[in-house]
Amino acid sequence: MALLLRNALDLYYYLNDEASDPRVKDFLLMSNPFPTIAILTVYLYFILKWGPNYMKDRKPFNLDTLMIVYNVIQIIACCLLLRQGWMYAYGKGYSLFCEPVDYSPSPDAIEVARGCHAYYLLKIADLLDTVFFVLRKKDNQVSFLHLYHHTGMVVLTWTATKFLPGGHSIFTGFINSIIHIVMYAYYLVTAFSPKYKNNVWWKKYITQMQIIQFFMIGTHWAALLFQESCGYPKWPVAIMIPQNFFMLALFGDFYRKAYILKKPKVESAQENGLTKLSNTSNGTNGIYQNGVHRNGFVSNGINGSINNNGTNGSLINGLTKRGKTNGVSITTDTSNLLQRHLATSQQFENI
């Protein structure tokens, strides 16, 4: 047992002190893995146990102002990372198919390493997404997919910054920052007003973009397998390809359940500018947006049948109402009714 512990300690010191990049040793939270482990432990404990217990008998917190500030900061941070990646990497000839890590102390190489470190810190900040879900009692959004993704990204970005700060791996952060700009822009819009949450037309396309992102990242890492002399180690491929295609499967399953299999709760139909919100099987007691018809049904806004407390009748072309009340036939000129109806229809068009 003592020998196993000794070998484990030797392996730890070798990986942490010798195999790692010495340039990042003094970066925040990079001297050893224990601060990151502590952050993730507290995060998972809060999300899975302490947070839900604390909020159990409390009302959801109103965090709208805080979330607006948070989303703006996220968007700015992602834009700065894109600028960093372009100025010091892709804008200076970084290859998309094979790029070794530059471990030199040159200014460009140091800036790339700092960009990788900043991306890692941003993944820690992303953990606040889940904290906000708990404090707002949005427990349905705290899914396995969400927790796995956020926890895994912190672990992967710390590892990349510690051992491979630059080179082939920065494509992952570059493309992910683009996706996050769009995603946090959506969150920013919905934070201003909840009414936008289900009305922003590009909501489902964000998930599509995330799915495409994981496919692109997985393919990008797979390209290393076809490079005989790249200079970038191949062992990360064994981690990144399964990881990204697993995420691809999880996000694909979420998209299928959320946007393909999910049926709309409210059946709607557009008929000459009127939206039907509900209707009984016999066509009565229908409720319409911008108007209510009691005990009746209106089709096309002009021609329809009216059933009111036992009085049967029909409005034909808006001109003549023919009906029967208590067995007596009635034919009545309805020109005034037509004028009123046309005026009402004009109001609907102006709304």
Burial class of residue 78 in the structure, from the number of CB atoms within 10 Å of its CB (0-12 exposed, 13-18 middle, 19+ buried): buried
254-263 b/e (C-beta count within 10 Å ≥ 16 → b): bbeeeeeeee
- Helix then strand count (H, E) for the chain reads 11, 9
DSSP element (H, E) containing 184: helix 170-192
DSSP element (H, E) containing 320: strand 320-325
Query: Rg for the chain (alpha carbons), in Å?
Result: 31
In the set 146, 149, 293, 341, the catalytic residue is 149
Respond yes or no: is residue 150 known to be catalytic: no
Per DSSP, what are the bridge partners of residue 320? 316, 333
d(CA 178, CA 314): 59
Task: List residues with catalytic annotation.
Answer: 149
